[in-house]
Amino acid sequence: MTARIFLVVVAALALAWGSPAAAAEKAAQPAAKLAPGQAFKDCPECPELVVIPAGIYIMGLNAVDKRSQPAHRVNIAKPFALGRYEVTWAEWEACAKAKGCPSGGDDDHGWGKEGRPVINVTYFDAKNYVAWLGKKTGKRYRLPSEAEWEYADRGGTTTQWWWGNDKGENQANCKDCKSKWSAWSTAPIGSFKANPFGLHDTTANVFEWVEDCWNDSHKGAPNDGSARTRGDCDNRVIRGGSFYYFSKVAQAAYRAKNPPAVKSYWLGFRVLRELD
């Protein structure tokens, strides 16, 4: 091909690609595949997300109480994206301003809102927030299932906390973790190092709502990572512990419950976004 013909072909392709039909075709093509560990946001005011890889793990491993047993194998067949941090006040208030979150997040307990996780939100408030994100971005946002949450919290580890079997000091914000916020208040997001999947504050700071109805144990739990939609749905599962509770409550296998309409200064959430 001569240089002149080559230039003509390139110009023709450029014109064709710039046409409305070509632009629509380009927009319809799938986006580049997101790699595990990659961080991204769907909009400026959206939570930052981290891609969590597919994998298999033992849910309830090393559990010390019966309600977190029996340990069982769970297969997370597809990658998903999870909030790098707990949802913040700023992110919440963007939803409230847009009238997507008509209730909740009305009291910072006098600690201030700058950089801190939103608190005093019910399960229903959290569901309103993920519905707003989905409508705003056109993506599938939701609360994580309990199984997805524990898998992400462990980050491929098998110990009581993702960093080991000794709680140590200043590893997280729990009552006996010896951080400067312990037993006093929430900590600003990202105050402690990330787990192996790149997530912050899955251990303590605030408990986090997940999707599941409460069941007294893992007996009969699905092995595909899906949420349990049967059981005591007058109570919902919460995970991760908080600044107000001792470190044993923040162990990876530990599970607790809360009525979905009840809010607290030690309770928030993070979001999951399904990947295409």
Phi and psi, residue 15, nearest 5°: -65, -40
Q: Is 178 left (phi over 0), alpha (psi -120 to 50) or beta?
A: left
Is the pLDDT at 16 greater than 60? The verdict is no
pLDDT above 70 covers a percentage of the chain that reads 88
Is the pLDDT at 213 greater than 70? The verdict is yes
Is the pLDDT at 26 greater than 90? The verdict is no
**33 falls in which pLDDT band (50, 70, 90)?**
confident
**Tokens 């009525």 map to which residue?**
259
Residue range 84-89: mean pLDDT, rounded: 98
Per-residue pLDDT tens digits for 104-144: 999 999 999 999 999 999 999 999 999 999 999 999 999 99
Q: What angle do CA 221, 225, 230 make, to 5 degrees?
A: 45
Tally of CA atoms within 13 A in the half-sphere of 48 that contains its CB: 11
Per-residue pLDDT tens digits for 161-180: 999 999 999 999 999 999 99
Residue range 210-216: mean pLDDT, rounded: 98
Is the pLDDT at 21 greater than 50? The verdict is no
Is the pLDDT at 190 greater than 80? The verdict is yes
**225 falls in which pLDDT band (50, 70, 90)?**
very high
Q: In what order do the strands lie in the sheet with 232-239?
A: 255-258, 232-239, 207-214, 267-268
The reply to whether omega before 30 is within 30° of 0 (cis) is no
Please report the pLDDT score of residue 194 as a whole number.
98
pTM of the predicted model as reported, rounded to 2 decimal places: 0.88
Pick the CATH number of 33-274 from 3.40.50.2300, 3.90.1580.10, 3.30.43.10, 1.10.1060.10: 3.90.1580.10
The first and second tokens of residue 17, run together, are 């690609």
Please report the pLDDT score of residue 243 as a whole number.
98
The first and second tokens of residue 224, run together, are 């595909």
- Give rounded-to-5 percent helix, strand, coil for the chain: 25, 20, 60
